[in-house]
Amino acid sequence: MAKVFTPEEREKIKGQVVELVPLSGRETLRALEAKTGASRYYISTLARELVASGDVYNSGYGLFPSEQARKDWQNARKKLSRTKVKKPVVVDPDLIWSLPDGEIRRYDRRLNIICRECLKSEVMQ
């Protein structure tokens, strides 16, 4: 059974939601359910009331203090997804080779050097 709230408790929960959303910038219905103790259905009903009164903005991503706050949040997510984490370069010892003149160089597949013996072989002719 769903918990029945008195009008005073409803106002208290409504006040909590109005306080929590601007503090974090974004709250999901599930998070509000956990923080207030009300059911998700009641939170969604309450969200519709708050959207109608203009206290919060509701989108598919949760409740936001305003529509501009939602746009800022989405732009921040886009910027974070664009930046890629650079992995540390690990040098594989098998990729390092020495040249006949003694110089040690890392293998570069763009150069794709073929040794003289291979070039002179029958297969390469």
The reply to whether 95 falls in a domain is no
Please give the residue range of the domain that contains residue 12. 7-68
Q: What pLDDT does 104 receive?
A: 62
The three state secondary structure string of 31-89 is: HHHHHHCCCHHHHHHHHHHHHHHCCCEEECCEEECCHHHHHHHHHHHHHHHHCCCCCCC
Burial of 66 from C-beta contacts in 10 A (0-12 / 13-18 / 19+): middle
Q: For residue range 16-60, what is the model confidence (pLDDT) as tens digits?
A: 999 999 998 899 999 999 998 888 899 999 999 999 998 899 988
Burial of 14 from C-beta contacts in 10 A (0-12 / 13-18 / 19+): middle
The reply to whether 43 falls in a domain is yes
pLDDT(122) > 70? yes
The reply to whether 30 falls in a domain is yes
Q: For residue range 65-116, what is the model confidence (pLDDT) as tens digits?
A: 999 999 999 999 888 887 766 666 665 565 555 666 666 666 566 666 666 6
The reply to whether 53 falls in a domain is yes
CATH number for the domain that contains residue 61: 1.10.10.10
Q: For residue range 47-58, what is the model confidence (pLDDT) as tens digits?
A: 999 999 988 999
Rounded to 10 deg, the angle between the 7-24 and 40-53 helix axes is 70
Tally of structural domains, the chain: 1
The reply to whether 36 falls in a domain is yes
The reply to whether 115 falls in a domain is no
Q: What pLDDT does 113 receive?
A: 65
Q: What pLDDT does 37 receive?
A: 87
The reply to whether 13 falls in a domain is yes
